[in-house]
Structure 1
Amino acid sequence: MNSIGDVPGLAGRRVVVLAGSRGIGRAVVELFAAAEARVVAVARGEATLKELAASDGQGRIVPLAADLSEPGAAEQVVSRAADLLGGIDVLVNNVGGWSDRPGATGPLLKATHDAYTSVMDLNIRTTLFATLEAARLMIAQGTGGSICCTASIDGLFPAPGEGLYGAAKAAVVNLVGTLAYELGQHRIRVNAVAPAIIETDLTAEWLTGDDQRADRASLYPLRRFGQPDDVARTIVFLCSPAADWISGVTVPINGGQQATGNAFRWVRQHNPVPPDRKL
């Protein structure tokens, strides 16, 4: 199991992690548990959640299988998770992803109402209403709290081919700033992380073959892809007392890609603009 090192004050913290069974979410759950926090891991797959809980061996991980896609489900799940823990100190809002609806990816001119609704529901609606429910519970407790959401590099830069997803993640970034302002009076901190490509089962199809991997890795000055722990360590830090005066920020986690000033070189190379047009 992973370790968060010397970040203090996590023992006994009541943590809820949405989309917590694999990839970044699983790494977050494991790091909090290793730091002796009590964690409810929420995801759809019951078998995977049970395996995750059993791997801890200390009883610190509580599995909660749930589908967050329906209106009202996010609030109900956060409330249920808080009941299981006897309260909530931390919410990690790791929900989001791509939609398989026609028009959800590719040029925005091909976007459809159905694709728009699917992408926005998945990436912003669930994030918003889960966050609001956690905030209400934290306010009622009167002890403050911390919320961290997962945005994306696509929410920080124009995202050719992923315009709907990028717009949804940009909404997450704005939401985090607004809520940090509004909830600060209650000692509730709200932050986000914005990863680039993280090597998980969801991105595996982009990273097949040595040539494609090398081409993609060349985007990053550090010349490697991100790993779930790279993001999880930042999330856990932002939710810990060590970050008590950090709120309203979105932390880019992209191996230096942002410093290149050309975040989507790969997209431009492989989806060139016609000769009579200029980017």
Structure 2
Amino acid sequence: MTVQVDNTNPLPLGIRGDRLTGRRILVVGASSGIGAAAVRRFAEEGASVVAMARREDRLEALCKEVTAAGGNASYVTGDVTSEESVAAGVDTVVQRLGGLDGAFNVAGVGGAGKLHEMETADFDRVVAVNLRGTFLAMKYQIKAMLESGGGAIVNTSSIGGLVAAPALPSYGATKMAVNSLTKSAAVGYAGDNIRVNAIAPAATLSEMLERWLTTDEAKRNMAAQTPLNFIALPDDMARVALFLLSDESRWITGTVLPVDGGASAT
């Protein structure tokens, strides 16, 4: 089986579907990797998408690309570690699009190293982005969806949130906590027509993984750890998020869905 060693979008851009037609969707953490792939994919399926992240130059280039392909995408800068920034970002989306129907929360950072050697400040940084950032995003997204009559949220967990992650203790801890937030919100807001799910990716050629795996050999070794024996592309995750945001998953909430090439089953 061929091992995937690049992160090229496997399908050309161009409006093809209608699974999100009329939906107003926010992607948090959209400047690269899974988030950027999601902006492309959601726009291709008819959504009006707002991309949010810190790096304005990347957001601007992404939205120009999507718009040139016939999609509807704009951006707002924001930092998930700042409550004021998140609140202002969601408010901008609501003002711009007239409401919020869906959100995909992708922003995250890694935290490699042995637990006893980890600097407390580094641990706090991972918690601030991965856990507190997801909490803040959900807090203001849910408020907006309550006013819009409902919606769907997809959070980004990890295989490290499903099994032990001894090399990534802070990362794994925050992703397990994201799972709990996801399930709690799903049950708490089901009566308000808000569905909340999460995806749990394994090895995906995002910007974070590219920094860790600098050679094809390293990527092959990583791929060999999954039964399907290849590393996913960001678009593979975007498609699963698309499913969870669409009406095709209307009977699914409170789920943390492994998207891991079978890794968590071994």
TM-score (norm 2): 0.90
- The equivalent residue for 1:19 is 29
Contact 2:163 2:264 in 1 (8 A): no
Contact 2:15 2:71 in 1 (8 A): no
- The equivalent residue for 2:85 is 73
What SS class does the counterpart of residue 252 from structure 1 fall into? strand
- The equivalent residue for 1:90 is 102
- The equivalent residue for 2:54 is 44
Q: How far is 1:10 from its partner?
A: 1.1
Q: How far is 1:118 from its partner?
A: 1.0
The counterpart of 2:39, out of the listed 10, 15, 29, is 29
- The equivalent residue for 2:143 is 136
Q: Which moved more, 1:163-172 or 1:79-88?
A: 79-88
Measured against aligned partners, the alpha-carbon deviations of 1:208-244 in whole angstroms (never above 9, x if no partner) come to 3343222221101111101111100000100001111
Q: Larger relative CO (CA 8 A, sep 6+): 1 or 2?
A: 2
Contact 1:3 1:35 in 2 (8 A): no
Question: Are residues 1:248 and 2:254 paired?
Answer: yes
Provide the rounded CA distance (Å) in 2 between the counterparts of 1:3 and 1:222. Answer: 29
- The equivalent residue for 1:146 is 152
Residue type of the alignment partner of 1:205: R
Provide the rounded CA distance (Å) in 2 between the counterparts of 1:4 and 1:184. Answer: 32
Question: Are residues 1:124 and 2:124 paired?
Answer: no
Provide the rounded CA distance (Å) in 1 between the counterparts of 2:38 and 2:15. Answer: 10
Q: How far is 1:44 from its partner?
A: 1.4
Residue type of the alignment partner of 1:179: A
- The equivalent residue for 1:270 is none
Change (3 A) 1:129 1:205: closer
Provide the rounded CA distance (Å) in 1 between the counterparts of 2:215 and 2:112. Answer: 23
Q: How far is 1:2 from its partner?
A: 4.3
The counterpart of 1:161, out of the listed 160, 167, 189, is 167
Contact 2:112 2:169 in 1 (8 A): yes
Question: Are residues 1:109 and 2:116 paired?
Answer: yes
Change (3 A) 1:255 1:148: same
The counterpart of 1:194, out of the listed 191, 200, 209, is 200
Provide the rounded CA distance (Å) in 2 between the counterparts of 1:161 and 1:67. Answer: 26
Q: How far is 1:115 from its partner?
A: 2.2
Provide the rounded CA distance (Å) in 1 between the counterparts of 2:80 and 2:48. Answer: 21
Question: Are residues 1:180 and 2:186 paired?
Answer: yes
- The equivalent residue for 2:7 is none
Contact 2:153 2:197 in 1 (8 A): yes
Change (3 A) 1:4 1:202: farther
Residue type of the alignment partner of 2:91: S
Provide the rounded CA distance (Å) in 2 between the counterparts of 1:109 and 1:4. Answer: 50
Q: How far is 1:190 from its partner?
A: 0.1
Contact 2:108 2:129 in 1 (8 A): yes
CA RMSD of aligned residues (A): 1.7
What SS class does the counterpart of residue 82 from structure 2 fall into? coil
What SS class does the counterpart of residue 104 from structure 2 fall into? strand
% same residue: 35
Change (3 A) 1:26 1:128: same
Provide the rounded CA distance (Å) in 2 between the counterparts of 1:154 and 1:165. Answer: 7
How many residue pairs match? The answer is 253
Residue type of the alignment partner of 1:259: A
Q: How far is 1:97 from its partner?
A: 1.4
Greater C-alpha Rg = 1
Measured against aligned partners, the alpha-carbon deviations of 1:97-145 in whole angstroms (never above 9, x if no partner) come to 12xxxxx53111123432222111110111111101111111122x210
Provide the rounded CA distance (Å) in 2 between the counterparts of 1:79 and 1:113. Answer: 33
TM-score (norm 1): 0.86
Question: Which runs of no fewer than 5 residues in structure 1 stay unpaired?
Answer: 99-103, 261-279
Contact 1:195 1:254 in 2 (8 A): yes
Residue type of the alignment partner of 1:26: A
